[in-house]
């Protein structure tokens, strides 16, 4: 079975305990998709120069955030790993002469488990986390994703978890969407739907408000978009499934890439 790839904005860690239109959407998305045999997540909260892959059969739940309600630090997402798929990822990287690093004992950061908590609350599907490198160009990030495209045709769900507009210094006091955030996402969305990689790969120079939407200290959050997009290079179709702006600027969106349900 072929599954689409997804880009999912994981928002604030508070998403784990919230009930909103977005969490309801994520719950329904998990119900709508055929059950994958494994989930591979490129996560913005694992940023390192060498592509790294979790190899564990059992994952810890990382509470890699500070200053939140104490109950959030008790949340567990006890998904298991899947070494067979992890080894296949490493083999695909090796086949493309891409250096990689198998990692044991890392655990799942909140970029992985927060959205999955709503999509697959029973944590019954094996999960493999893969790092991103925010210093690589979007073209390179896309090309790394493309190396894993065949996994989608073997009932593996590939997710990029991050955020398109994720400037925490620009959050507003209310939820009225800010024009500059909308304009950036609209520019991005038009080119995603056109699969216009020539302009997308230069979003930092061409997109309106790019430096505000994607500040230099937060480039790791848009990176998973390109990794996920690359895994659908053969079909080159993109569809936005959800969009909202809590705090006026924090872009919560979900994109589906490639053929599938």
pTM for the whole structure: 0.97
Domain 5-257 matching CATH 3.60.110.10: the answer reads no
Residue 260 confidence (pLDDT) = 62
- Please give the helix or strand (H or E) that residue 244 lies within, else none: strand 238-244
Low-confidence residues in the chain, pLDDT < 70: 260-261
- The domain locations on the chain are 5-257
Half-sphere exposure of 232 (CA within 13 A, CB side): 29
Greatest alpha-carbon pair distance for the chain in Å reads: 49
Residue 259 confidence (pLDDT) = 77
Taking alpha carbons only, the member of 156, 215, 248, 222 closest to residue 9 is 222
Residue 5 confidence (pLDDT) = 98
Indicate the burial class of 119 (C-beta count within 10 angstroms; 0-12, 13-18, 19 or more).
buried
């Amino acid at each position: 079975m072929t599954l689409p790839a997804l880009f999912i904005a994981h928002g604030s860690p508070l998403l784990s305990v919230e009930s909103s239109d977005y969490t309801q959407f994520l719950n329904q998305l998990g119900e709508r998709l055929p059950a994958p045999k494994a989930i591979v997540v490129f996560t913005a909260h694992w940023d390192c120069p060498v592509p790294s892959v979790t190899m564990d059969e059992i994952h810890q739940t990382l509470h890699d955030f500070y200053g939140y309600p104490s109950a959030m630090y008790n949340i567990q997402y006890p998904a298991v790993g899947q070494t067979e798929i992890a080894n296949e990822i490493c083999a695909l990287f090796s086949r493309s002469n891409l250096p990689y690093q198998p990692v044991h004992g890392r655990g799942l950061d909140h970029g992985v488990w927060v959205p999955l908590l709503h999509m697959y609350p029973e944590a019954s599907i094996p999960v493999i986390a893969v790092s991103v490198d925010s210093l690589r160009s979007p073209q390179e990030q896309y090309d790394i994703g493309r190396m894993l495209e065949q996994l989608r045709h073997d009932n593996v769900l590939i997710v990029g978890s991050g955020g398109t507009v994720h400037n925490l210094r620009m959050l507003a006091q209310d939820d009225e969407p800010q024009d500059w955030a909308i304009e950036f996402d609209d520019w991005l969305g038009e080119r995603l739907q056109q699969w216009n990689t020539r302009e997308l790969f230069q979003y930092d120079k061409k997109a309106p408000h790019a430096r505000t939407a994607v500040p230099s200290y937060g480039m790791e959050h848009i990176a998973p978009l390109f990794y996920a997009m690359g895994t659908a290079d053969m079909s080159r179709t993109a569809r936005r499934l959800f969009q909202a702006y809590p705090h006026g600027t924090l872009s919560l969106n979900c994109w589906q890439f490639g053929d599938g349900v």
